[in-house]
Chain A
Amino acid sequence: MEFTYYPGCSLKGSAQELDESFRSVSEKLGVTLKELPDWACCGASSAHMVDAYLETALPARDLITAERLGRDVVAPCAGCHVRMKAASMKILEDAELSRQFPLRGGIRIMSGIDMLHDADVIKRIRERSAKPLAGLKVVAYYGCLAVRPVEVVDPDDPENPKQMDEVLEAVGAEVLNWPYKTDCCGGSLALTRTDLVLKLSQKLIDMAIAVGADAMVTLCPMCQANLDTRQADISKLSGRNYQMPVLYLTELIGVALNDSQASHWFEKHMVSPKTMLASKGLI
């Protein structure tokens, strides 16, 4: 199994532990990732806000390269995945755009969960989990861009997606029911209206605590950054001490696969998951 890998900017910056764990786990699962050469930013949450042409043209440049290489492309960042897939759909539907951007739609544009939930891959995850995560209670937090826009992402269920839950079950974690799987953390307002992000993120963390989660699990770099880095501020404002680890799905797969790199990923977190994982005998 071989894919073109589009890391995107977040995975090179604030979401390095997603990049590292995604690559490492893929290798252990026999999936070869080849980084897209000379990629540029997909335009993230900004391009579509400011200009219709940029929203499509930025991902188009990378999509054309990916198509030339012929392999399906994996974009682990939920944001990049949506931007690339939306641009591709727009181009293929529009004769004028198709003339400007020669795409044939010959490759699949996959999210991280598309790859990890693939029947073969999930089977390997189950078989190769040397250290199943018994006793670890988690909530799967999909966020917005893993399921929306619905016509772009085409999720299994936009209100109650289950793919991440199923991968977590494959590594032996106990996946809890909770109502905020796809509620927004405030994402794109992280720097501009931090007050709102704190409010929305606190609501999510409070619910995770209320249902008894040891950790929240996501694949979205924006969600992870908001939830992990803002707990100090939320603690200050609320007078309570928030210590909810927010992990990438691939980090937990790494723990189950006994990946020796795992402790290095955890160093990157603001709320360290180490004490919690150690108390469960998992690291």
Chain B
Amino acid sequence: MPQTGYATSSGKVTAPQADLASVINQCYQCGKCSAGCPVATEMDLMPHQMVRLAVLGDLDRIAASKSIWLCLTCHTCGARCPNGIDVPALLDPIRHQILRDKMDTKGSPVPIFHKTFMDTIKTFGRVYELFLIGMYKLRTKKYFDDMELGMQMFKKGKLHLLPQKTGSLSEVKQVFKKSGLK
């Protein structure tokens, strides 16, 4: 797929791999994916439009969209597409590249959250909520969101004061070393 590439596309965003491309190319724009997408109304590009742009080779527009960070990976689109096209399967590699190449994420807090989540796993091997939430708030400067809820969760013993670690943390760190996420 895009064997030729889209006229205005920079070519910076890597086109989908051949096996994925051959599936995506079957899209006949029925719109079922967008009809069932829980966040379609919030999107600047709807799921069927992203798929169309991928077929045409204009991946820049997908990478620069708000939609790429709004997609919940709920797989409703994939479950319903008559041609077996799962939008997150198209978006995940683009999201990886955006982060790897430090492309503009348009101020979306979503990639910051996911990176912070992975930093938490790299540090402890398991989720440590206070670290995750604290770091996320620092990085997004959203200090006061959900303070009350956090206090209540704490009182109910759902937020631990101390981390629960994986014993063989060095193995987990090894996994991260081999990844694209530094």
Contact = CB atoms under 8 A, between A and B. Distances in A.
B121 A148 contact: no
Given A57-B179, A58-B121, A270 B152 contact: yes
A188 B115 CA distance: 13
A169 interface: no
B168 to A, nearest CB: 6
Given A38-B166, A48-B73, A54-B179, A14 B79 contact: no
A12 B164 contact: yes
Interface string B135-164: 010000000011011001100111110001
B39 interface: yes
A159 B76 CA distance: 10
A115 B14 CA distance: 42
Given A40-B125, A184-B74, A192-B110, A49 B168 contact: no
Contacts of A44: 117, 127
A268 B156 contact: yes
Given A148-B75, A149-B79, A184-B38, A50 B115 contact: yes
B178 A53 contact: yes
Contacts of A49: 73, 92, 95, 110-111, 114
Interface residues of B, number: 58
Interface in A33-71: 38-41, 43-54, 57-58, 61
A193 B70 contact: yes
A196 interface: yes
Given A38-B167, A194-B145, A147 B79 contact: yes
Nearest to A49: B114
B95 A268 contact: no
A86 to B, nearest CB: 11
A187 B72 contact: yes
Given A13-B159, A38-B166, A200-B38, A51 B96 contact: yes
A38 B168 contact: yes
B38 A183 contact: yes
Size bracket of the A interface = 35 or more
Nearest to B93: A52
A232 interface: yes
B27 interface: no
A186 B72 contact: yes
Interface string B162-182: 001011100110011011110
Nearest to B39: A196
Contacts of B61: none
A43 B76 contact: no
B172 A144 contact: no
B75 to A, nearest CB: 4
A189 B176 CA distance: 24
B1 interface: no
B126 A9 contact: yes
A207 interface: no
A273 to B, nearest CB: 14
B74 A187 contact: yes
Sorted nearest first, the 7 A-B pairs with minimum C-beta distance are A9-B127, A148-B75, A46-B117, A184-B74, A46-B114, A40-B166, A144-B74
6 contacts: A40-B121, A43-B118, A46-B113, A46-B118, A49-B95, A50-B111
Interface of B: 38-39, 42, 70, 72-76, 78-79, 86, 88, 92-93, 95-96, 99, 108-115, 117-118, 121, 125-127, 129, 133, 136, 145-146, 148-149, 152-153, 156-160, 164, 166-168, 171-172, 175-176, 178-181
Given A40-B125, A182-B76, 7 more contacts: A14-B159, A50-B99, A53-B180, A54-B179, A148-B78, A189-B110, A193-B110
Interface of A: 9-10, 12-14, 16, 38-41, 43-54, 57-58, 61, 144, 147-150, 158-159, 182-184, 186-189, 191-194, 196, 200, 229, 232-233, 267-268, 270
